[in-house]
Chains A and B, each alone.
Chain A
Amino acid sequence: MLNTPGQDAPGQGAPAAAGSGPLAADQEGEAIKAIPLRHPWRVLVAVVLVLMLAVFVLDAAQREDFGWADVGKYVFDKRISQAALVTLQLTVYAMVIAIVLGLLLAIMRLSPNPVVKSVAWLYIWIFRGTPVYVQLVFWGIVSLIYPVLTIGVPFMAPWVSFHNDIFTNLFVTAVIGLALNEAAYMSEIVRAGLLSVDEGQEEASRALAMSWGQTMRFVVVPQAMRIIIPPTGNEVISMLKTTSLVAAIPLSIDLYGVSRGISAVTFTPVPLLIVASLWYLLFTSVLMVGQHFIEKRFARGSGQRKADKQ
């Protein structure tokens, strides 16, 4: 963005070639050699912050309650790493279902059919309007409310009826609970993305005889992705952390659940909280790097960046 150095260094060197412009170089003003403005407050604030941080770190390193030896002992414990895998699985499954469901809800909300539109709105209203913790508690006991699931015509003998085993599997319950909540947020993200694409794009596509599906797939959705991807990355990171709430179901095989389980036996809660946090930080850091590259890819042709493929 800045001018490349050397290209314009006024007042430097010999006068430029005559006739290169209306103003010859020797007519330019004297170069400015001012004393730069000093920022004493910036320096002071920085020094104070560094000092405070140093004091905290030195103190924490010696404080017994942090149990650094235990942190080292448990951070690569097999139970912990397996629990971390469960947390990853919860995140991935819940997000995949949420994205698909969210896309469906977003398209429903843009539907010309008022009933379809209202149903989507109602879903989003309920699932965004209640806490995810409360929803997870609800899904944890839903098998008590509906012990038997039936398929058939209401008020007639059911065609099929089976025991509600879906919500007795706590892992499946956790995935469903997290996904249903997240879908409401994802649908708003997808909807904003679809609406951000200029109407002229759809028009041009239709004028080229492309069908609605082709218009969506090849024209609208790829452009909407640029708007959808960054907040979706945030949602993945947020979901990774929200999985710790599955304790409400109660599911206790995830990272936080297992850490808590171990500390309940060893009476060392703080080191295990640190261990769990380290793993969460590792995952979120990796996700943030991944998001950076995905965002770059979807910025193609946006004009903000130079096309890097040429």
Chain B
Amino acid sequence: MNGTPMVHADRVSKSFGSNRVLKSISLTVNTGEVLCLVGPSGSGKSTFLRCINHLERVDAGRLSVEGQLVGYRQKGEKLYELRPREAAFQRREIGMVFQRFNLFPHLTALENIIQAPMRVKGMSKAKASKRAVELMERVGLGDKAGHYPAHLSGGQQQRVAIARALAMDPKLMLFDEPTSALDPELVGEVLDVMKELASTGMTMIVVTHEMGFAREVADSLVFMDGGVVVESGNPREVLSNPQHGRTKAFLSKVL
């Protein structure tokens, strides 16, 4: 492991109009770490996640992935906004999984997975398909390659979405409430895939309400509320012995 953290946020702020959703967020995620972001809805955790792959623009502070500024290039004292093509290049090694899966409904599971490797990396269809089949097997859906998303359950769809993100061989995976849109009995199968992924040393940032997952898998836990980091630390300690009143109040409702 080198000294550069995978993600480093230094006093990051972000506003939508006059609404400040992120207020001076500072945190570090090292390579191989799993970070869980928890907090009430509207606390800014999803927005922060979306800033990391530049789906949202940071207004203040510095956010970098592997030492590289996200969305901007620094030349001397000045910051230059990246061109769309350059921003896209930064996203190549950052996978993202969405709450509502966002699979491409007009494509089969396999076609969903091979799109980015083919279009972005120029991989041949045969090679991309071979890799996609391996990934489908890894998420336990080896027999569903030809299915359209509409014919898969929510849990299966989300596992395809994870395989789709993995197909780009990311160094960092972002999960935006990956189990919130699922029926309760389907949550486990998705969490199992994420646990397996964490055990292989993948760096992961997970916005979640699954405290059990956080306790079991995460290396660190950050509790956000009102756009600020209220409390952070070892997940078992924070969950069993929260220091801050807001953390206590939140945990008493979800645990």
Contact = CB atoms under 8 A, between A and B. Distances in A.
A209 B148 contact: no
Given A209-B168, A223-B105, A310 B147 contact: yes
Contacts of B106: 222-223, 226, 300-301
Contacts of B102: 198, 200-201, 203-204
Interface in B77-126: 84-85, 88-89, 91-92, 94-96, 98, 100, 102-108, 115-116, 119-120
B150 A303 contact: yes
A172 interface: no
Given A301-B106, A303-B105, A303-B150, A211 B100 contact: no
Given A203-B55, A210-B120, A218-B115, A300 B148 contact: yes
Interface in A105-125: none
Contact of A204 (B92, B104, B108, B146): B104
Contacts of A300: 106, 148
Contacts of A211: 84-85, 88
Given A208-B120, A301-B149, A200 B100 contact: yes
A212 interface: yes
Nearest to A207: B96
A219 B104 CA distance: 7
Interface string B138-170: 000000001111110000000001001100100
A108 B91 CA distance: 27
B53 interface: yes
Interface string A123-144: 0000000000000000000000
A216 to B, nearest CB: 12
A7 interface: no
Nearest to A299: B106
Taking residues whose C-beta sits less than 8 angstroms from the other chain, chain A's interface range is 20 to 34
Contacts of B84: 211-212
Interface residues of B, number: 34
Nearest to B90: A209
A201 B149 CA distance: 13
A218 B111 CA distance: 11
B107 A209 contact: no
A4 interface: no
Nearest to B96: A207
Nearest to A305: B150
A200 B107 CA distance: 15
Contacts of A226: 106
Contacts of B107: 301
Nearest to B53: A207
A194 to B, nearest CB: 14
B148 A208 contact: no
Nearest to A206: B55
Given A210-B88, A301-B106, A301-B107, A200 B115 contact: no
Nearest to B54: A206
A27 interface: no
Contact of B119 (A200, A201, A212, A214): A214
B105 A208 contact: no
A209 B88 contact: yes
A149 to B, nearest CB: 38
Interface in A252-299: none
Contacts of B150: 301-303
A298 B112 CA distance: 17
A2 interface: no
Contacts of A207: 53, 55, 91, 94-96, 98, 165
A206 B71 CA distance: 13
A208 B166 CA distance: 10
A205 to B, nearest CB: 8
A200 to B, nearest CB: 4
Contacts of B88: 206, 209-211
A303 B107 CA distance: 12
A228 B100 CA distance: 25
Contacts of A200: 98, 100, 102
A154 to B, nearest CB: 34
Interface of A: 198, 200-201, 203-212, 214, 218-219, 222-223, 226, 300-303, 307, 309-310
19 contacts: A201-B102, A203-B98, A204-B103, A208-B120, A208-B164, A209-B91, A209-B168, A210-B116, A210-B120, A211-B88, A214-B120, A218-B115, A223-B104, A223-B105, A223-B106, A301-B148, A302-B105, A302-B150, A303-B148
Smallest CB-CB A-B distances: 9 pairs:
A303-B150, A204-B102, A301-B148, A208-B116, A200-B102, A207-B96, A209-B91, A209-B92, A209-B88
Given A201-B104, A208-B115, A208-B168, 14 more contacts: A204-B102, A207-B91, A207-B95, A207-B165, A209-B120, A210-B119, A211-B84, A214-B120, A218-B115, A219-B104, A223-B104, A301-B106, A303-B105, A309-B146
Interface of B: 53, 55, 84-85, 88-89, 91-92, 94-96, 98, 100, 102-108, 115-116, 119-120, 146-151, 161, 164-165, 168
